[in-house]
Amino acid sequence: MKAASIGAISAGVAVVAFILVFVGVGTNQAEKIDYQRDLEETVASESASPSAPEETDYQRELEESVSSESDSPPQLQSNDCSGSAGCYTDYVNRIVDGDTIHTATLKIRLSLTNAPETYQDGFREATEFTEKLCPVGSKILVDQDDLQRVDQYGRVLAKVFCGDKVLNSELLYNGHANILTQYCSTSEFSGEAWAKRYGCDSNEIQLTTIPSPPTPVQPKTQEISCDPSYPDFCIPPPPPDLDCGDIPQKKFRVLQPDPHRFDGDKDGIGCES
């Protein structure tokens, strides 16, 4: 009887131990399942989350840059030039007058087209027209004249494109210039429609409203006249209109009316810088 009781107690203990082990294994397995579910949910959440703000901003800026570039106007191409002389793309740095403009590297005088000088009627209107069509900072295309590439002052003689307009012809069409007919035989552009219409074709009607100033014939032995506005040096009066880069003198006395406008601040001293 005693032995049977001991056996029964041993069997009960074994059953309890088995149940405890089973419950422990089940609990561990449940925790593993919960951990695996949490891990999968975290990975899924991260994969579905939006890109980092830095990546989103960079992508947006890139798309806006591409869109902006695609909307920009077409640039002037070198194939707009004719002949074999220089073909320069540059930016306007200064408007001297209606027919003379400067860039940072070039001094440009319009080929054939002649706008009024400072002392002539229409000077301001012609200068303002050029300032409006080819404003400072704007991009231009300079087609150098094959037959006469530079003038006696070292300025590049050229046809100038401002956007889709040709400055030479626009000045003529709008009554702000005339053709220097004496240069028709030495200009690449004398055969173009605007040049022929305004003077380079004797069979066409002259439509210009600005007559060329007469050039008096002087004996070869006569000295070049000196403008009284510059008493320290012999500087000829215009035309052509000169600037400080066209003469070697610096810091000299200037009297009014100063036709070459050497004294920009009107302090009586020309070409100070």
Give per-residue pLDDT as tens, 50-65. 444 454 554 555 455 4
Domain boundaries, the chain: 10-42, 78-200, 217-273
Q: Quick one: what percent of the chain has pLDDT higher than 90?
A: 38
d(Cα 112, Cα 172) in Å, to the nearest integer?
10
Q: Encoding tokens for residue 240? A: 């052509």
Q: Encoding tokens for residue 182? A: 């004496």
Do residues 151 and 157 lie in contact, with contact meaning Cβ atoms separated by under 8 Å?
yes
Q: Encoding tokens for residue 74? A: 């077409």
Do residues 156 and 150 lie in contact, with contact meaning Cβ atoms separated by under 8 Å?
yes
pLDDT at 38: 60
d(Cα 49, Cα 70) in Å, to the nearest integer?
32
pTM of the model: 0.49
Mean pLDDT across 165-171:
96
pLDDT in tens, 82-122: 888 889 899 999 999 999 999 999 999 999 999 999 888 99
Do residues 150 and 142 lie in contact, with contact meaning Cβ atoms separated by under 8 Å?
no
Q: Encoding tokens for residue 206? A: 């002259």
DSSP state of 174: T
Angle of CA points 124, 237, 225, to nearest 5°: 160
Contacts by 34-40, CB closer than 8 A, 24 or more apart: none
- Which of the pair, 136 or 56, is modelled with greater confidence? 136
Q: What is the CATH number of domain 78-200?
A: 2.40.50.90
